[in-house]
Amino acid sequence: MLSSSLRTLCIRGPSIASRSFSTTSAAHAAEVKSLGVIGAGQMGLGIALVAAQKAQVPVTLIDNSQASLDKGLKFADKLLEKDVSKERITRDAADAARSRITTSLKMDDLSSVDFVIEAVPEIPDLKTSIFSKLAQVAPKHAILATNTSSISITKIAAATTTDPTDLQAPSRVISTHFMNPVPVQKGVEIISGLQTSKETLDTAIAFVERMGKVASISADSPGFLANRILMPYINEAIICLETGVGGREDIDNIMKNGTNVPMGPLTLADFIGLDTCLAIMNVLHQETGDSKYRPSGLLKRMVDAGWMGKKTGKGFYETLISSPASPTKISPAQKHSNEQLTTNLDITNTPVLKMADKFPITLTTSITLAEQFQQALSSPDTTPSTAHSGKDALPLLSASATALKAQVTKLSLLAITSPFTPSAAVSVLSDLNESVLPTLVSAAMLVTPDFHTKAFQGEVRNLTKTTLKEVLSLLGEVKNVAAKKDEEKKAKKKESDLAQGEKDVVTVATGRVWDSCDVLVDVAAKGVVGFVVRRVEEWRDLVRDAVEEIEEWDPEEEGDEFFDELLSDDEEGDAKDDDDEGGDGDSAALHEQKKTTLRILKPVGQVYPAVVAHRLKKAVESPAVVKKLGSLMAQLQRIPENIDEVAGALYEEDWEKCTQYLRKTKDCAVKAVELVVTPLDDSADSQQRTDDKFVPWSKTWMKVIEEVSKPIDGSAGAE
């Protein structure tokens, strides 16, 4: 009651009067006259079918694959036909339900629905991108629901606006987590985010009840209710199989016959999908930082092999598992990069040791892995064979860097706290060895020139190597602490607290890992475009500094030649006096050359802010855009390098060389502008192209650069 009152008091969404709903929740649901469902998979199709049958509303089913839509409708026909044959519904009712479902490949077709339910895979970035677009496409009164089983509703809601104080769209976001199979299971979890309004909550509850479901309210906490309870149960069953506690049938039979559940945990895992189980366990583990949610090694390996359960025809019951104590062997071609990178280090199957003996072995394994990973990142052609692709690299990099921060924090606290507990340290180190470090390195290796540019690949690999270096430093300090504790134990002395200086050493090492992880998270968040913007701005500053230096340079100012004269004999000095008779003419020529140089370099310097403001800030990453970015960076990087040569030649009074590098500088700038005359992604509509300020700017710029370059056109020394 108290929490409900607090929600009403603190988190008020838009006034209910601003919507086309009346004031009671029942009335809200009654006015939901149409539904949109995104995702034509098993869950999405089930939701669409139940809404068409029970709530009797027209449903628009959206997917980006026509094959998935066709497959979904075929399955719906099969389910309806089965209900008719068993006399659960009449033929007319089946035909009416089927007629209410229409399909589309365009999310824009949700522009007139009252309620939307997203049912795509558990990929945070995918869901947030969908809701970002939904906020623009769906009507301003529509409820925006997600079927997520574990991802924060608050985070999803935040993706619908760029202004955290604007609750117009976020207040309409909620989770309606249906259970699988949707036509059979009555339970639906309803989860509100921090931004969700009470009106949205009431509407969602009433609408799922109209679909014949029973609503249960959960807080926006990792895993919510169902998966917070269910997934550790399934994971523990898999661990029992993996470690030989029991066989497959024994595990399922005891739970079915001993606890009266309809199916055993391994059968249930196959039915849900092992990839889904793993994704949820990973979210629970990362969000809570609790080792009890660490996914089973066998579960990870089966997903890596592509054995997802019923959906793929292979799982615990669709494939042979030779023995409970010996998980199925996976061919090298099928293994995920985690197994490739930890060759011959099958930690889950090591013999049972006393914890005091296991700690140094596990710590040594961590150190060895970090060193091997550093070497792997230094190999230019190392790219993991993995179920992930380049597009997954940055979310994976951010998640693994965040997880690494959590694990090293635990490890450092264990190291500086007395008494030292090897068992807890082994648990943290096992997380590092089995999951966190391999995933971090895999993510870094998935950054490739094709998806992210060669420069960005190098940046991420170098930053990851730096992170591993800091991890190694921390592990070394932990090793020193453990050695001290071990010596005290061998001497049968009472374990002493660490001195403050010793604690500080561990804390500082941990802080350096944190800093490295924060840099990785920031780089992943800003992506390739953010990286390119930063580099372009750095080169812009170099160009500005060089231009200012040339502006401040006075050709008549005495330089090193003044000191040469002081050290020379009289005859040489007289000779110089004779040579300097034409000094006034030389000085005038140098002033003119300086003027020409600056007239060319100043418009060149204007290219950088124009490209950033009108092209990079608006770029949407794609393989085609990345390819253009690589070419653009190559040209913009050469400009400050060429200007250095221009300045040096000018100071040396070598106008031929100066002209040569001025030409090169101009050519690079022209090529850069030509590369981005049209928007990087080539997807702008006619109105956007009409409003594009860069096009007229580039035309004017081309005229200016050609005009100011006339003094160097046709000069000797050009290439």
Residue that is written with structure tokens 């050493």 in the block: 505
**Torsion sign across C-alpha atoms 105, 110, 114, 119:** positive
Please give the DSSP secondary-structure letter assigned to residue 498: P
DSSP symbol at 117 = E
Dmax (CA) for the chain in angstroms is 121
Q: How far apart are CA 543 and CA 561, in angstroms?
A: 28
Residue pair 223/279 in contact (Cβ under 8 Å)? The answer is no
In one letter, which amino acid is 417? T
Pairing relationship of beta strands 187-192 and 173-178 according to DSSP bridges:
antiparallel
Which two structure tokens, joined as six digits, stand for 164? 């955290």
Which of 619, 416, 635, 446 is closest to 524 using CA atoms?
Answer: 446
Contact 41, 145 (CB under 8 A): no
**Would residue 257 show up in a list of annotated catalytic residues for this protein?**
no
Cβ pair 222, 51 in contact under 8 A = no
Evaluate whether 459 touches 523 at the Cβ level (below 8 Å): yes
Buried/exposed code over 649-660 (b: 16+ C-beta within 10 A; e: otherwise): bbeeeebebbbb
149 is an active site residue: yes
Question: What is the C-alpha separation between 92 and 280, in angstroms, rounded?
Answer: 40
235 annotated active-site = no
DSSP 3-state of 36:
strand
User: Coil, strand, or helix at residue 192?
Assistant: strand
Contact between 129 and 142 under an 8 Å Cβ cutoff? The reply is: no
Q: Give the residue carrying structure tokens 């990099």.
A: 397
Instruction: Check 149, 197, 398, 433 and give the catalytic one.
Output: 149
Burial category of 87 from C-beta neighbours within 10 Å (exposed 0-12, middle 13-18, buried 19 and up): exposed
Alpha-carbon span 176 to 521, nearest angstrom: 30
DSSP letter at 17 equals G
Exactly one of 227, 398, 412, 709 is catalytic; name it: 227
Judging by beta carbons within 10 Å of its beta carbon (0-12, 13-18, 19+), is residue 224 exposed, middle or buried? buried
Q: Give the active site residue among 28, 152, 177, 459.
A: 177
What is the distance between the alpha carbons of residues 440 and 398, in angstroms, rounded to a whole number?
Answer: 8
227 catalytically annotated: yes
Q: Which long-range contacts (CB under 8 A, 24 or more apart) does 706-712 make?
A: 708/596, 708/599, 708/600, 708/603, 709/600, 709/662, 709/663, 709/666, 711/596, 712/596, 712/600, 712/659, 712/662, 712/663, 712/666
> Using CA atoms, how far apart are residues 696 and 674, in angstroms rounded to an integer?
13
Instruction: Tell me which residues are annotated as active site.
Output: 149, 177, 189, 227
